[in-house]
Amino acid sequence: MKKKLRILLVWILVSLVLQIGGHSLLNIQVQRVMGLTPLEIEPPITLQLKATIPGSELTNIQVSYAKDYLAYMEKGTLKIFNLKKEKIVFEKTSPSTADKKLGVLTYQWLPDRNILLYFYAKKNPNEVTTVKVYPPLTIASNPSIVRKTEDPTQEEIVTPKVPAEPRYEKRYGSPQLTELFSLELPNSDEDSAPEDRSNSFDPPSGSEEISAAGRLEKFVVATATNLMYLTVANGSTQQLLKIDVMKKVSSLNKPRELINNMATSDRFSTLYIDSKVGTIQQVVAIQYVEALKNDKRLVISNNTNDRIIGVRKGRVYIEEVVDNQLVKIKTTADLELMKDNPGLKTEWEGSIPFDENSCALIGAKGQVIVYDNQTAYIITDGHLTENKLQGDENYISADGAELVQLTKSGTSTLVELQTLIQ
């Protein structure tokens, strides 16, 4: 009897272990299907990889999440290069070689998948449409006389209204239309073609709203909620637009507001921006409040020298720059419901050269990386290290793990990936 009980207990324990493991695996798969990556999973790191790209005029270099694809522009064409197989696997050309406003406008790798989102502009085939317009009814020239039914001896003059001839009017829309595409890349060891999908806007006028504003500048994605934010400039004015999961476009900016940089929460849909209205410079959070059915603004910092760097694993990172020197790194908690003027904790103080050519990002392990084309400064747990960069052009992956060095060689470009941090 005791032996049977022991066997029964063993099988119960085995069953529980299998159930827990199965639920955990299912949870991860569901998160991946929904576009969510568990926060504890670290992004892939390539220890070292070298490849040769045909072409020497590469711009807007971006390495994919898995560090095996490189996106870049070359002479107005978006190209995706498989670093492992050393070949171009996707190209998107512009519909016009003369009109620089058409073609691929901007793009961004998702931070947790090998999917590239990009905006593509083309001419509006129905920029001018003709519609039939009916004017108000006109009064007839020959009035008629009718007798009143309640008193046949009484007469009244009736002037009937008749329809006027319709006229045709021209209606003018945006000269171009903008589409949002999602390009999903297969595993770099496979030979299957990428899947390029168009995502129409709802309503379709959202496309014209983006096109009419002008030049697309900043573009960020909140992967936890699949919300997209972009700034579009037209002359001296700028518009901040939000695109939700239904591809509906809405405007978030204040009048005369200029936005220099922005970042999204990696856990919520909160957008953090560097907002300047007139002489007032602030770091601002924009959150959707369900109770209000609207977006709410909250001031994170009133210091005119503070700028948003990014958000990583529940912390909002802010840099303070004075006279082209980065002098302080501060953080605050990234909460589901933010409050005005939260306390900022100083994580580091010192001096790092910082001008319009400098970039700053937050690595996957919470390190702050500041770099230009010659030097990378890495702040880890308050300690600063300095790395000299060797390529003709140098880039760092969005997760801070990978250094991408480009060196021109005739009509080709040598690319080398190496680990920036362990």
pLDDT digits (tens, 9 = 90+) for 280-307: 999 999 998 887 788 999 999 999 999 9
- Cα 249 to Cα 24, 104, 197, distances in angstroms: 36, 19, 19
**Pairing between strand 103-109 and 167-172?**
unpaired
Mean confidence (pLDDT) of the chain: 83
Q: Which helix (H) or strand (E) holds 251?
A: strand 249-251
For the chain, the farthest-separated pair of C-alpha atoms sits apart, in whole angstroms, at 116
Q: What is the pLDDT of residue 17?
A: 46
Least confident residue range of 37-41, 250-254, 384-388: 37-41
* Predicted local distance difference test score (pLDDT) of residue 11: 58
Query: What are the tens digits of pLDDT across the range 105-121?
Result: 999 999 888 999 999 99
- Who contacts 410 (Cβ-Cβ below 8 Å, separation ≥6)? 56
Distances (CA, A) of 56 to 30, 59, 92, 297: 42, 9, 18, 44
Closest listed residue to residue 100, CA positions, set 22, 187, 216? 216
d(CA 262, CA 283): 9
15 φ/ψ angles, rounded to the nearest 5 degrees: -65, -40
pTM higher than the cut 0.75: yes
CA pair distance 240, 229, nearest whole angstrom? 7
**pLDDT of 146 above 60:** no
Helix (H) or strand (E) holding 388: strand 383-388
- Stated as kind and residue range, the H or E segment containing 371 is strand 368-371
Element (H, E) at 209: helix 205-213
For residue 46, count other CB atoms closer than 10 A to its CB: 18
Instruction: Count other Cβ atoms within 10 Å, centred on residue 5.
Output: 9
pLDDT at 92 over 50: yes
Distance separating alpha carbons of residues 105 and 372, to the nearest angstrom:
24
